[in-house]
């Protein structure tokens, strides 16, 4: 959705208002989880407990993490690596595994000289 604001000097000035990809992904995850409300439907998805655990991490939802750990202890074992089924499900929802990694500080780039005499 693009919202254009009244312009004063330049008619091409406008503000674009678009939801971020992360917000879209969060909505997809929440929709899937709420659609699988019965234990039978949850068990139909391989490694659903692991999916819930990582969803809780992605959504920063402590209650969801706690639910996954209590309800699916065998699938949320911390010594277990993430399964290909869980990775595939996240990819289908638009979430990349790199989205779970913490953002590191990007080293600031040394500015380039702007004057030829500075070289």
Assigned domain for 104 exists: no
The domain tally of the chain equals 1
Please indicate, yes or no, if residue 2 is contained in any of the structural domains. no
**pLDDT, position 22:** 83
Full-model pTM:
0.65
* pLDDT for position 45: 84
pLDDT of residue 16: 44
Look over the chain and give the mean of its residue pLDDT values, rounded to a whole number.
76
Q: Domain span at residue 67? A: 20-98
Segments of the chain scoring below 70 in pLDDT: 1-19, 101-119
pLDDT of residue 108: 55
Q: What is the pLDDT of residue 11?
A: 47
* Structure tokens that stand for 6 in this block: 């009244």
Which pLDDT score, from 0 to 100, does residue 78 have?
A: 84
Answer yes or no: is 4 within a domain: no
């Amino acid at each position: 959705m693009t919202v254009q604001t009244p312009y004063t000097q330049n008619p091409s000035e406008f503000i674009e208002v678009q939801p971020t990809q992360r917000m879209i992904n969060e909505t997809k995850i929440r929709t899937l989880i709420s659609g699988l409300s019965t234990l039978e439907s949850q068990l139909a998805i391989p490694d659903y407990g692991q999916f819930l655990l990582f969803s809780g991490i992605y959504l920063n939802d402590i209650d969801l993490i706690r639910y996954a750990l209590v309800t699916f202890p065998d699938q949320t074992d911390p010594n277990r690596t993430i399964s290909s089924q869980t990775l595939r499900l996240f990819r289908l929802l638009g979430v990349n595994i790199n989205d779970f990694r913490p953002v590191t500080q990007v080293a600031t780039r040394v500015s380039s000289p702007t004057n030829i005499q500075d070289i």
